[in-house]
């Protein structure tokens, strides 16, 4: 990933994060986020920039004392296959470890990608926090076709 900078998002990045996420949401491969939601959760986001442009993003959302979610992973198409998604998820994993979370999960269509990073498939019903916080408001509820995966990040915490 030479020439790229992975960093925490800043408030000034919110509009670009919003555009990137919603570009994939329009294709039905990611849930949309409002600009207001991106602003409210800007501290959750990491970005990768190249030449001053945001080319990838991902967020770690906290669900409680020991659980977080990797969400809103988006990489501009012309940057796919360059390790950016992996770097962003690894940044979220490190963040989760530093925060003392025990597990992180994701709901995704990119099952193989997350399995390569150590995530294991689980039944969505094992994540009631997610269902009651976000899923009830999703246009795909209750017929969600995403796969839930989970990763233990701090076994001894």
Q: What is the pLDDT of residue 87?
A: 97
State the fold for domain 5-152.
Aminopeptidase (3.40.630)
Average pLDDT over residues 43-52: 95
C-alpha neighbours within 13 Å on the C-beta side of residue 155: 2
- For residue 140, pLDDT over 80 is answered with no
Pairing of strands 103-108, 67-75: parallel
What does the pLDDT look like over 60-84, one tens digit per residue?
999 888 999 999 999 999 999 999 9
44: left (phi over 0), alpha (psi -120 to 50) or beta: alpha
- pLDDT at position 65: 85
Residue spans of the domains in the chain: they are 5-152
User: Which residues of the chain form beta strands (DSSP E)?
Assistant: 5-8, 45-50, 53-62, 67-75, 103-108, 120-122, 147-152
Which has more confidence, 139 or 119?
Answer: 119
SS3 63: coil
85-94: average pLDDT: 97
């Amino acid at each position: 990933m030479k020439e790229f900078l992975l960093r925490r998002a800043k408030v000034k990045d919110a509009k670009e994060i919003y555009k990137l996420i919603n570009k994939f949401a329009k294709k039905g491969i990611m849930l949309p986020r409002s600009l207001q939601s991106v602003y409210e959760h800007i501290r959750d986001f990491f970005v990768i920039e190249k030449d001053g442009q945001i080319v990838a993003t991902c967020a770690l959302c906290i669900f409680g004392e020991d659980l977080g979610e990797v969400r809103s992973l988006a990489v501009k198409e012309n940057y796919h296959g360059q390790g950016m998604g992996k770097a962003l998820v690894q940044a979220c994993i490190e963040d989760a470890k530093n925060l003392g979370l025990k597990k992180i999960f994701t709901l995704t269509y990119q099952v193989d990608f997350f399995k390569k990073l150590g995530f294991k498939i689980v039944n969505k019903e094992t994540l009631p926090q997610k269902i009651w916080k976000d899923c009830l408001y999703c246009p795909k509820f209750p017929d969600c076709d995403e796969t839930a995966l989970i990763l233990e990040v701090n076994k001894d915490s």
